[in-house]
Amino acid sequence: MYLTKYFLPILKENPSEAQITSHRLMLRSGMIKQSSAGIYSWLPLGLKVLKKIEQIVIEEQVAAGHIPILMPTIQPADLWKESGRLNDYGSEMLRIEDRHGRGMLYGPTNEELVTDIFRSHITSYKDLPKTLFHIQWKFRDEVRPRFGVMRGREFFMKDGYSFDMDRESAIHSYNRHMISYLRTYERLGLQAIPMKADTGPIGGDYSHEFLVLAETGESEVFYDKKVTDSSLGERKIDYSDKQGIAAIVESFTQPYARTDETHDQNLFNKLPPERRLSARGIEVGQIFYFGTKYSESMNAEIVLPDGKRTFVEMGSHGIGVSRLVGALIEANHDDLGIIWPTPVAPFLAVIINLKHGDKKTEKVCEKIYENLVSAGLDVLYDDRDERVGVKFATMDLIGIPWQIIVGPRDLSEGFIELKFRKDGKRTRISFSDCSSELLNALRV
């Protein structure tokens, strides 16, 4: 993409309404624009990042055996009356009526709707287990929407719903979700700590939330260093292995890890001093096991092998996809701007022409651009007629991992320069063989 043909509305000054780093940088880099309080339009750069995160989430859910669907944003209020939960959200729920006077609502979550889908089509244990998930916009009318996409009223969320014949199978579904989430966060370049959590209006008696460590986190967290030393890495996961999955979950959840709301200082002090750590954390997901809370109220039954009928065991599992954009920035930035992890970067590399109008540099930039695009890489070409300082400032702000710098002085010596945004390290590459060297470097 040539930058002169792209839509990238950079702001030179820090927006006065932005209180935290991610909100400030998302506005300044032209990723989002506020439509109304807590509601944003996603502009091209922001949308690219959002979609890359969404794709990674989908891939890991499918790998864990979960099935994608898509449910609507607007739901009938009657389903929420049936579950007995219509008033639980209070004023956070946006309630409307259609032209016929029927009660409707903009869904804050989808337990009722997915239970209705299940009970309409599945009646036998032979069709279990099943996990259905979707990624859809949600709405909760926050009293004080703030911090940009970190606490907005409209948000993009993955929510999945598991259906099992008994508690043992339901716990296995819960554990599968935990591992699929941990793998998702690792692929995004984040380390998320699972912590026991309150179930809130979702209900149930078993829940973990996932927090990413960041200085601007909303919660204080206390944890055993063992937690952050743990990693799935490249380990192959067999999601059908109940014992193996349970053992992995145990390794991540057995060490002490709690937010300030449930912190037990006496228990924490029993850890060796070198393992006692505290930090701030941002919640980026939560999983729930709630048994038959919804299946009983909505009469979602299955027939067991002995012919008896029972209510299906359920759980729900959410990842804040739009919230993850903000969390990634909070965890990956410096004084100059965003530092995107490669898997979610809007572009892998940017070509910076240091001398606009110079035929030689323009020809080289265009050749590099064509070669990289032909190789299937997502590349931005900064072909603007701007000062060099403005170009570097823009690219540092938007955080593209690699900067390919082409200037007349280096070219006269037969070189171009490659800069890695994360550490600022620069490497000179011989122009005569720049295509292969660049491809090797960019695919590391």
**3-338 CATH pick, 3.10.20.30, 3.20.20.120, 2.60.40.790, 3.30.930.10:** 3.30.930.10
Q: Is residue 204 scored above 60 in pLDDT? A: no
- 405 contact partners, CB below 8 Å, separation of at least 6: 352, 354, 416, 417, 418, 419, 426
Task: Report yes or no: 82 and 74 within 8 Å, Cβ to Cβ.
Answer: no
Give 200's pLDDT tier (boundaries 50, 70, 90): low
Q: Where are the beta strands (DSSP E) in 167-232?
A: 192-196, 206-213, 219-224
Cβ-based burial of 285 (10 A; exposed 0-12, middle 13-18, buried ≥19): buried
Average pLDDT of the chain?
92
Q: Is residue 311 scored above 70 in pLDDT? A: yes
Give 144's pLDDT tier (boundaries 50, 70, 90): confident
* Range in 45-54, 123-132, 294-303, 368-377 with the lowest mean pLDDT: 368-377
Q: Is residue 214 scored above 90 in pLDDT? A: no
What pLDDT, on the 0 to 100 scale, is given for residue 68?
A: 98
Task: Output 145 or 26, whichever has higher pLDDT.
Answer: 26
Task: Output 138 or 413, whichever has higher pLDDT.
Answer: 138
Mean pLDDT of 145-163: 93
- pLDDT tens track for 76-85: 999 999 999 9
What pLDDT, on the 0 to 100 scale, is given for residue 201?
A: 57
* Range in 201-215, 257-271, 354-368 with the lowest mean pLDDT: 201-215
Q: Is residue 431 scored above 80 in pLDDT? A: no
Return the CATH number of the domain spanning residue range 347-442: 3.40.50.800
Mean pLDDT of 307-330: 96
Mean pLDDT of 385-408: 95
Question: Which backbone phi and psi does 394 adopt, to 5 degrees?
Answer: -65, -45
What pLDDT, on the 0 to 100 scale, is given for residue 90?
A: 83
* Residue range(s) occupied by CATH 3.30.930.10 in the chain: 3-338
Closest CA to 172 of 119, 122, 130: 130
Task: Output 444 or 312, whichever has higher pLDDT.
Answer: 312
The Cα–Cα gap between 195 and 375 comes to 42
Give 442's pLDDT tier (boundaries 50, 70, 90): confident
* Residue range(s) occupied by CATH 3.40.50.800 in the chain: 347-442
The Cα–Cα gap between 335 and 165 comes to 53
Mean pLDDT of 32-60: 97
Q: Is residue 202 scored above 70 in pLDDT? A: no
Q: Is residue 59 scored above 90 in pLDDT? A: yes
Task: Report yes or no: 319 and 282 within 8 Å, Cβ to Cβ.
Answer: no
Give 197's pLDDT tier (boundaries 50, 70, 90): confident
Global pTM exceeds 0.85: yes
The Cα–Cα gap between 275 and 332 comes to 24
